[in-house]
Structure 1
Amino acid sequence: MSEVLAEEEQKAREPLQQAIQHDNIDLLHDLIVKEPELLDRVSKDPFPNTPLHIAAAEGKFEVAMEMFILRPEFARKLNPKGYSPMHLALQHKQYQIVRALMTLEPELIRVRGRHGITPLHYIACEAKDNNEVELLAEFLCTCKSSIEELTSRCETAVHIAVKNKNLEAVNVLLGWLKQVHLTKILNWKDKDGNTVLHVATSGEPQHEMIKLLAPHMDVNAKNFNKKTALEIFQGHSSCNQDIVKILRGNVIRLYLPKISLLKLLTMRPTCFEKWAAFFYIEDKSVREVILVVSTLMVTATYQAALSPPEGYWQDSSSNALTNSTEIAHGKPHQAGKMILSGRQLYRFTLLNSTTFLISMCIILAAIVPLFPDTYMVGLSMFLLATTYFFSLTTGFQNSDDGAANLIEGFFMVAMYVFFILSYWIWQKRALVQQEINATRRRIGDF
């Protein structure tokens, strides 16, 4: 009985196969008119070999595009071998169909097939000639989020390219990652905890790839066997000393001990972390209001440092004081120095610097969690704080005024200590983030 049904099914498919073979859209629609449920019947299996799969593999462009218009869901289905129509088109080098499918639905680049391999993984492995390398670049630009897809071995497209020694593909992938500021993906680990640098140093070392990748990666990262890329490389009989120098790294970082996520969650928070938590506000609209007000306060206090009360002397005088009536206009002074002096100067310096310091701290507390994307803001604020203190200090009439210098020195040190603590907190967060990259591999909203 089953053999009879199979024969009938095969006879019913023959006209459809002819329509595909001749790339004849009219014949396809004639068949659908005769049997409206034709496409449902041929795709009823859980893993069907749909007409779109067949047309894509055979390069029948017009039928493939018509089939996508009629049944766009066919483009995401996997056949019994675990391939989508785009996978099959790539395997048979039907790049015209690949580009058309990519244009109609960019997300098809993310469809995971056999072994979790997406079209991006496939082309990263196979891209050898200019046309295929160009297609890889088109994939990346058309569907940016496709870069975060992983195979069943938790490998990125860069892992695949490095493993297959495809230097051309690695060049394209690395260039694109640098342009979109996503080089952190290079530090993602596969199921064995290997980054792409571990892969490049395993087996037969790939010197060119190591030179290409190492400057953009954490060379101290360890795989699940507790080995760095350098330790793997040094295990080979022929050990190139130039590569050893590259893998050692020469970046000077603020020293922080390695800490596991488990230890971080179970240890008691430090006083600095409690203080940082004090600035955390969940409501986004409230945070925006606070940042706006803090920015206005920084602007006002900085302007006050440039234009203090009573202003600056416009001329220089060395007249000695004769009586109290000449204090305002006859006391010795130097052009370009503040007229304000004594207790008034101390009061102004203390209040203005306190407001400036608090406002800067609030803004820094808001941007630290967003590092390194906001590092330019942090650098700009550091320079702003430097010019503020320099402007205020140089305006003192008496450069030997111990009280004024003491107040200014205190706030200057406090501001720079806060900058250092902010960097320390960010470095600690960054180290923990590296530890959990193997499990939280998502690049966020594009």
Structure 2
Amino acid sequence: MERRLHRAALEGNVPSLLQLLREDELVLERSLVGPHSDTPLHVAAMLGHSEFVSKILSLKPELACELNSQRSTPLHLAAAKGYVDIVKGLLNACKEACLVSDKYGRNPLQVAAVKGKVKVLEALVQVAAEAARIVNKSGETVLHMCVKNNKLESLKVLVGMFGGEDEFIDWKDKDGNSALHLAAADGQFETVDFLTTHTRADIHSRNLEGFMALDLLAQSTTGTKEKAIADNQTMSKQTRVSPLSRASKFPSGAYNWKKHFKRQNSWLERMRNSLMVVATLTATMAFQAGMNPPGGVWQDNAGDNSTSVPVNNTISYFGLVVPGNSTITHLAGITVMGDSYYGVYLAFLVFNTIGFIASLSIIVLLISGLPMRRRLFVGVLMVIMWIVITSMALTYAISIIFLTPRGRGLPYEIISLGILAWTGLMTLLVGLHIIRLIGKALRACIRAVTHRRRRIMV
């Protein structure tokens, strides 16, 4: 009997169903405890047998709320296949089924959206609009799902119904990404264009990593730069978003996404080229200074007491007296600075080596093939370049002090003032960047707390 009922559902054979009911009035009830996880209504709804579905619903409407092994209702299956008439009949029998989540955390409305069944989606939104506001375990709404599955038409239907609700459009998932963030990160230019011109999506909103949608669009490598976003789009305060929308909060005037995209890439490319040139020059300078230190190298040997040269070679080094050797004994090819003032030479060697290694690191990173489209990566290179420049400045100061005749304080005072000015400038820059990073971290924390409260309220 159960096999015959299952066969009738597969074929959509209504006369066979009626015959089975005449033979056993409880045949539909028995199907609920049979070997098949799918009820006859699941099978008929999935295959689009509308007459068979209508007949079962008229006899036993509670079957519309039954779940199969995937926790799917018949409405899930009909929505996924796009059978509008069956969907309407199932909604009339069990409207609550539209709020049921399947094994994958999707309700029938979300299933219709990600499958691109626009007509079914429209029917579901009209009957159970609250299903569109349900979020999954990742904090994603149906808009996030549409973007992830690249279903622009489904997105347009939902925006048409909820476009005036800022919270729905700007809802963020657990990573702080709105639907606009996801579309920009994936390079969906048409979706980005639609969201920015037909909704009140906040283009200045940042995710938990501190990125705006514009930043993610500039970093995106999906698609080509010449897609539909090429046309200039006007986002004025008078832009209408939907029958439910209010005045746009975007600034008046044209906003050219393609121009911004090119400007971002142009800036990154200029920075890359500039860093490569400067790093090459500083590496060359550091190499030359290491091979030819100030004062040069000894040209002959002076290895015993008879050939030792007695000298008074103390040096005032930024107010500190650094004694040298009372007698100079040397070998040909050894640095004069190293023999005469070992402490000064050690400082020179340390700063020069730091500058040389840091310059080489920049060159290696630039030619390594890592994603130079990332602002964070460029920021790291800029910090390394600060270290290079600071090291070269200190190396210069030590060299000038060594080469300046003793007893003449003016050059030392000039170098001291220069070092102090440089230290002050670097401290100011570092302080400003630290303040900027703290500000970003605080804003991210505030957004995370706000987002968590919104999720709790939902």
TM-score (norm 2): 0.46
- Larger-Rg structure: 2
- Higher relative contact order (CA closer than 8 Å, sequence separation 6+): 1
TM-score (norm 1): 0.47
